[in-house]
Structure 1
Amino acid sequence: MSELPTRSGLLGSPGLPQPVSVRAWPKPGWVPSGSGPHHGGATAEAAWDGVHRRPVRITIIDRHVLFADSVAVALESEGFIVTVIDPGGPHASMATVLAAAARSAARLVLLEQRLGTVGDGLRLVMPLTASGATVVLLTESTDKARWGAAVHQGAKDVLHKSCSLEDLVGTAGRVRDGLPLMSRELRTALIGAALADQDEVRAIRARLDRLTRREMEVLGALMSGDLVSEIARSNVVAVATVRAQVKSILSKLELGSQLAAVGAAHRAGWRPAATATRGLTA
């Protein structure tokens, strides 16, 4: 695999499918001098590491091109050296995105949570942190348990994607200056929410394990949006039989409605066992 391009290009070898699009800022013409950055503006000085006297590198991993490029331009205008990794390509994967991020050697990584077909960006927090980068998660979620999961895995901050460019530039500045991004109190509260959520998910999974194969099949059908009458018809059983099975499911899950049961199953990431066979009786 070839080296990561220093300007705009792709991670990969010529003639092979290109998994990850990589765009770099500043554009050609930005040349740091020996005594400090040269970027045509007084604010560029702020992007230099005050300890090591070197430009601060930032990598943005985001599948929304307009958003990522807007953030990159704002950071570049402050003198930061920015690489944008677009995980939206058909051949992108967690491995190729992580490889591109590692090659960018960034001090700060702005990581989108939802990476499309690549998957959940939370899976990249720990390896990126282990590589020495400061990771800030960008998310559209307001679920504090999800925020806490990111922090628990090593993220130094979580920002909602509705935040302003000034907030993002300010975050980059705090990383540059070695300042904390999150108060200890907020960090503790978010991690607590994540751990409580994990406990609840484990409890849901334990209750799901009580279901018979037939009940698993019925719950799977409900998750697919099938009505009780449709489940009965497809399995050639009476509607009353399926209703009894649904009642048993709700009892075992300790829930009061089909909607709650479906929601709990989704929350736990549950899917009916592959060995579940249509037509089995409870």
Structure 2
Amino acid sequence: MTQKPQQTSRSQVRIVIVEDHVLFAESLDLALTVEGYDVRRVDVPVDGAGAGTLLSTLLRLRPRVVLLDLDLGAFGDGVRLIAPLAKAGINVVIVTASPDRGRWGEALRHGARAALSKSQPLNDILATVRRINAGLPVMTHEEREELLRLWHEKRRETQGIQERFAQLTSREAQVLGHLMLGRSVHDIATAGVVSEATVRTQVKAILAKLHVSSQLAAVGLAHRIGWRPPAL
């Protein structure tokens, strides 16, 4: 006979919320507190430099579950917190507004137990916490494999785009950097002490190498993969 997993009293289950949207964090806090859990909220640092401090705070609190947003304002991507938390035996549940399911898969790849959308009913989040407390699975094998597949596809696509950027010459990379700052061809030519015709030729080369049809698309692609130009 299979033994049923032992469920810990909710008052002994500490849940930490890492969320920079105050109203959503307050809603989670209230709902979980009403259910009897020991709920804590941790302030998100104002920039990415505070990652070590935030991680130390979370580990010191020794939570059973961390409800983690992926987009943490100026702090950046919350995904970097997942692996060390999971390694410490903490159940990480992603609660995000991002519709990018490839990112959800990346979170699972780093050790998150589940990924949920903020648009889902609040009870879905509560149900996930209940299942973790009861020692039950929180995602089906099929759901997990599908998200991981989407992450692999996105990763391959990103690598392909990065290879295009690697084809840019140092001057073309600088020109793209200027475009990312909103500078015109005239401004770039003046700064580089070259003719506008030369800059236009360089812009055409950039568009051809990146497989895009406009300066706006080139800038958007750079932002999409987090590409950074050389120092201007």
TM-score over 0.5 (shorter chain): yes
Task: Please say if residues 94 and 119 of structure 1, whose CA atoms lie closer than 8 Å, have aligned partners that are also in contact.
Answer: no
Identity rate, percent = 46
- 2:23 equivalent to 1:96: no
CA-CA distance at 1:226 after TM superposition: 1.8
Q: Which residue of 2 aligns with 1:197?
A: 154
Paired residue type of 1:125: I
Aligned length: 227
Q: Which residue of 1 aligns with 2:169?
A: 212
Select the structure with the greater relative contact order (CA < 8 A; seq sep ≥ 6): 2
Distance 1:92 1:260 in 2: 30
CA-CA distance at 1:67 after TM superposition: 2.1
Q: Which residue of 2 aligns with 1:166?
A: 123
Among candidates 1, 13, 36, match of residue 79 of structure 1 = 36
Q: Which residue of 2 aligns with 1:50?
A: 6
Residue by residue, what CA displacement relative to the aligned partner does 1:52-107 show, whole Å, maximum 9, x if unpaired? Answer: 55722211111233322221121111111111111146898111211111122111
- 2:98 equivalent to 1:141: yes
Task: Please say if residues 6 and 135 of structure 2, whose CA atoms lie closer than 8 Å, have aligned partners that are also in contact.
Answer: no
Task: Please say if residues 67 and 95 of structure 2, whose CA atoms lie closer than 8 Å, have aligned partners that are also in contact.
Answer: yes
Distance 1:74 1:243 in 2: 57
Q: Which residue of 2 aligns with 1:262?
A: 219
**What stretches of structure 1 of length at least 5 have no aligned partner?**
1-48, 277-282
Task: Please say if residues 47 and 76 of structure 2, whose CA atoms lie closer than 8 Å, have aligned partners that are also in contact.
Answer: no
Distance 2:56 2:88 in 1: 11
The alignment partner of 2:112 has SS state of coil
Structure 1 residues 89 and 239: alpha-carbon distance in aligned structure 2, compared to 1, 3 A threshold:
closer
Point out the structure with the larger helix share: 2
Q: What is the RMSD of the two structures over their aligned residues, measured on CA atoms?
A: 2.1
TM-score, normalising length from structure 1?
A: 0.74
Among candidates 143, 146, 149, match of residue 186 of structure 1 = 143
Structure 1 residues 100 and 181: alpha-carbon distance in aligned structure 2, compared to 1, 3 A threshold:
same
Q: Which residue of 2 aligns with 1:227?
A: 184
Residue by residue, what CA displacement relative to the aligned partner does 1:181-220 show, whole Å, maximum 9, x if unpaired? Answer: 2221121111111112111222222221111111011111
The alignment partner of 2:153 has SS state of helix
Paired residue type of 1:178: G
Q: Which residue of 2 aligns with 1:109?
A: 66
Q: Which residue of 2 aligns with 1:253?
A: 210
Q: Which residue of 2 aligns with 1:5?
A: none
The alignment partner of 1:86 has SS state of coil
CA-CA distance at 1:132 after TM superposition: 0.5
Structure 1 residues 88 and 186: alpha-carbon distance in aligned structure 2, compared to 1, 3 A threshold:
same
Higher Cα radius of gyration:
1
- 2:17 equivalent to 1:60: yes
Distance 1:51 1:167 in 2: 19
